A and B are shown apart, each in its own frame.
Chain A
Amino acid sequence: IAGITQAPTSQILAAGRRMTLRCTQDMRHNAMYWYRQDLGLGLRLIHYSNTAGTTGKGEVPDGYSVSRANTDDFPLTLASAVPSQTSVYFCASSDYTGELFFGEGSRLTVL
């Protein structure tokens, strides 16, 4: 069982470019999340989706957008990347017990 699959694992991007981070789950969880991890700040929620067809803003949503067309996929898009979006991005899903399942992360560097 793969769980959460993220792609790409690493990317270097020029400022101003558009970038989509992909996330797919095979656990049929209703809820999915995107976090960014920065040194000394822990994990901060960017966007979330409680079920297919709905999304919501987290703590740090500016500059990011998401969509949830189906249960399995939850892509995160940076419309015009800026250097402050250099981070490690984690996709996660949760089951009814409240346990979060994380992907392995996507390391993004914006120059």
Chain B
Amino acid sequence: AQSVAQPEDQVNVAEGNPLTVKCTYSVSGNPYLFWYVQYPNRGLQFLLKYITGDNLVKGSYGFEAEFNKSQTSFHLKKPSALVSDSALYFCAVRPLSGGYNKLIFGAGTRLAVHP
């Protein structure tokens, strides 16, 4: 079965330190990969996506993500965390041959950035 795994329920990091939120996937073929962020009592907001090309993708708010085909991973990173980055982060994967009704979300990782 196709799936997306976010192995950490919560990630804690000190402000100013680098952060990584992990995502691995199991889908057939080459996927489209996405990261979304959700602030409390809000809808999800798009951060970045990988379709093709350079494995390192840069997105909103200083975030970036690296596509690793051999490890089937798409980890979200930021060089220097801010307290305002504290939120719920979702990885999502869509098989290349599928429509957006085939988008699969991970369970989410809560990022807590401490002053």
Contacts and interface: CB of A to CB of B under 8 A. Distances in A.
A91 B101 CA distance: 13
Given A45-B103, A50-B99, A56-B101, A104 B43 contact: yes
Contact of B101 (A44, A58, A101, A105): A58
Interface residues of B, number: 21
Interface in B57-115: 90, 94, 99-101, 103, 105-108
A58 B32 CA distance: 19
Contacts of A99: 34, 46, 49
Contacts of B41: 104-105
- Main secondary structure, interface of A, reads strand
Contact of A105 (B42, B45, B49, B94): B42
Given A98-B51, A98-B94, A50 B42 contact: no
A74 interface: no
Interface in A89-111: 90, 92, 94, 98-105
Contacts of B34: 98-100
A53 interface: no
Interface stretch (A12-20, A35-43, A65-73, A75-83): A35-43
B107 A100 contact: no
A56 B43 CA distance: 23
A6 to B, nearest CB: 8
A48 B101 contact: yes
Interface string A1-44: 00010000000000000000000000000010100000011111
A4 B45 CA distance: 12
Given A58-B101, A105-B42, A98 B107 contact: no
A60 B100 CA distance: 16
B106 A42 contact: yes
Interface in B16-55: 32, 34, 36, 41-46, 49, 51
**Ordered nearest first, which 3 A-B pairs have the shortest CB separation?**
A102-B43, A42-B105, A42-B107
